[in-house]
């Protein structure tokens, strides 16, 4: 049984806030995927250019290695929008679980617009919804309504993960 979880979803869904609190609740390490983007990726996003699969490939490999390097477990915040991205992470950590923080476009855009000091612009939020491949049918995925208060999102995610063996 793995104690590795990816908190995933579109920009503004609360991956970092929920992920950090979930890691504390589960007693495992915390990894914020944004901190591992190569500088060129950050520059592209700041300019309002969406990342390509090629841009994300090395980043995803590195995130998988970061999780695998924490055998006691870790929670990673990572958009993981496509099945192929999630499969790259699963290859690094067999049994990996995902918590999809589901949020609507309008709410995501409002949240991103309200953030201060973050490199990701509101102009790119809609592109994330185009890219998102619904993970709900996949094994090992928990879906939580990200519009709920953060404490409730964390509690629901932890309860569902623990009920299914994490």
pTM exceeds 0.85: yes
Residues 35-62: tens digit of each pLDDT: 898 888 888 877 878 888 999 999 999 9
Residues 130-158: tens digit of each pLDDT: 899 999 999 999 999 999 999 999 999 99
Q: Give the CATH number, domain containing residue 51.
A: 3.40.50.300
Contact 123, 11 (CB under 8 A): no
The predicted structure's pLDDT at residue 93: 96
Question: Domain residues for 34?
Answer: 4-163
Report the domain count for the chain.
1
């Amino acid at each position: 049984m793995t104690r590795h979880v990816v908190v995933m979803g579109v920009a503004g869904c609360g991956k970092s806030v929920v992920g950090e609190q979930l890691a504390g609740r589960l007693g495992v390490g915390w990894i914020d995927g944004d901190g591992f983007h190569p500088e060129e990726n950050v520059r592209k996003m700041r300019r309002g250019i969406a990342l390509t699969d090629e841009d994300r490939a090395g980043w995803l490999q590195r995130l998988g290695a970061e999780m695998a390097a924490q055998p006691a477990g870790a929670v990673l915040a990572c958009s993981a929008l496509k099945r192929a991205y999630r499969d790259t992470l699963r290859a690094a950590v067999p049994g990996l679980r995902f918590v999809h923080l589901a949020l609507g476009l309008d709410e995501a855009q409002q949240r991103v617009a309200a953030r201060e000091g973050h490199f990701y612009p509101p102009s790119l939020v809609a592109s994330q919804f185009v890219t998102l491949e619904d993970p709900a049918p996949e094994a090992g995925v928990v879906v939580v309504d990200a519009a709920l208060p953060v404490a409730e999102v964390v509690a629901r995610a932890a309860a569902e993960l623990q009920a299914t063996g994490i």
